[in-house]
Structures are given as C-alpha cells and as structure tokens.
Amino acid sequence: AQSVAQPEDQVNVAEGNPLTVKCTYSVSGNPYLFWYVQYPNRGLQFLLKYITGDNLVKGSYGFEAEFNKSQTSFHLKKPSALVSDSALYFCAVIGGFKTIFGAGTRLFVKA
C-alpha cells in the first residue's frame, strides 16, 4: 500500500539554525513527492516537488529537499530557519493516482 510517514509531530529549532523535517514513503513504482506548508488560518501552499532528475530539489522560501531512493526518504531542509517559518508542514506522495498526505509536522522556530 502507498503511504507516507512523518515521524515527528513537532520540531523545535532556534532562529538561524538549520532545520530538517523528516519524511519517508512507501510507494510502488517511481515516487512523485511533494512538500506543502500550512500557515495558521490559511490553506496549504506548495513548496517543492520531486518527479525525476537531481536528488536535491530547491523550492520556495529557501527550502530544499533531498530525495534518497535507498532510504525511501524525502527530508525537507533549510540552512537557516526564520521565526516566520513556524507552520505545519506536510509531505505528500502520489500513490494509486491519489495524493496521500502525511500527518504533518509542526515546526516551531524560536527567536
């Protein structure tokens, strides 16, 4: 069965430090992977996606994600966190022609 897991409910990081939000997936065939962010009282916003090609994908707001086929992971990263990055982050995978979302990881960036 197709699935995606975000093992951390919450990630805390200090402003200026690097951040990582973890995501692992299980899908048959080639994976199509996405990251979305949800700010308070707003809908989800697309950050980046991996379809094929370079394993390091760059997206909006300085975020990037690394696709690792052997570890079936697609971790979201940012070199220097901002307080404004505090939000709910969702990893998603296309499985069975449907987008399957992870449970979400809440990121807190402390000033």
| Site residues for another protein per CB under 8 A | 32, 34, 36, 41-46, 49, 51, 90, 94, 96-104
Closer of 45 and 84 to another protein (Cβ): 45
The partner residues of 89 in beta bridges, in order of sequence, read 37, 105
Q: Which two tokens stand for residue 97?
A: 């022609």
Q: Which two tokens stand for residue 98?
A: 């449907």
Supply the minimum distance, in Å, between the C-beta of residue 81 and another protein: 23
Supply the minimum distance, in Å, between the C-beta of residue 15 and another protein: 27
Supply the minimum distance, in Å, between the C-beta of residue 97 and another protein: 5
* Coil/strand/helix, residue 25: strand
The C-alpha angle 11, 9, 97, rounded to 5 degrees, equals 115
Closer of 35 and 81 to another protein (Cβ): 35
